[in-house]
Amino acid sequence: MSRGTVISDPQADYLAQVDQHSHHLVTTSAIHNHIHAGAFFSSGAADTNMGAGASFTLLFSTPVITSGIMHARFYVAADRQVTITAYENVVTSADGTQLGEANHNRLSSNASAANVYHTPTITTPGDLLFTNVIPGSGSKAGGSVEGEYEFILAPETKYSFAVTNNGVTGGVAQVTFDWYDTSFTQDKGYP
């Protein structure tokens, strides 16, 4: 079976392929490439018993970055009306409990230098990045929100993501971070 026309750049470690039947350029997304390179990670946690008025906070800590750039997106889901606040340059007296991370390429041994923590002790909130609300009340409350566009994160910086239950009863909330680190891919022709 023929692959069609292959376009090669002798200065780079990648190929482009043109499909033999449709004559379209065959591509994969940048994120898909980072997954294959073992440079795409996820971490997060849920609070399954978040009381009325209570907050659930995760901390994302970026490492010293000597090469490459760290890109991140977030996803928040809740079964109540909640307010989501994100801060940069957070100061903590304790980072909290470190959470595990998952490399989306299960064949890769790469580990991210970034860390995610649950229940940090924040002494200075830092600079507000954004506030968002998952609206609703009663049986029509809840939903999810995600950052459609990624943040390019600063090195050696702490970011907090807090979800506050605005309801009058307890609820459930989940925060998930997805990120990739171009230090794993920059010498391999990936964007």
pLDDT value for 65: 75
pLDDT value for 87: 97
pLDDT value for 52: 92
- According to DSSP, the residues that pair with 56 across neighbouring strands are 163
| pLDDT tens digit at each of 191 positions of the chain | 344 555 565 555 556 667 677 777 767 777 777 888 889 999 999 999 999 999 999 999 998 876 778 899 999 999 989 999 999 999 999 999 999 999 999 999 999 989 999 999 999 999 999 999 988 776 667 788 887 788 999 999 999 999 999 988 888 999 999 999 887 765 555 44
CATH 2.60.120.510 fits 5-188, yes or no: yes
Strand 5-8 to strand 15-18: parallel, antiparallel, or no bridges (unpaired)? antiparallel
pLDDT value for 83: 94
pLDDT value for 2: 46
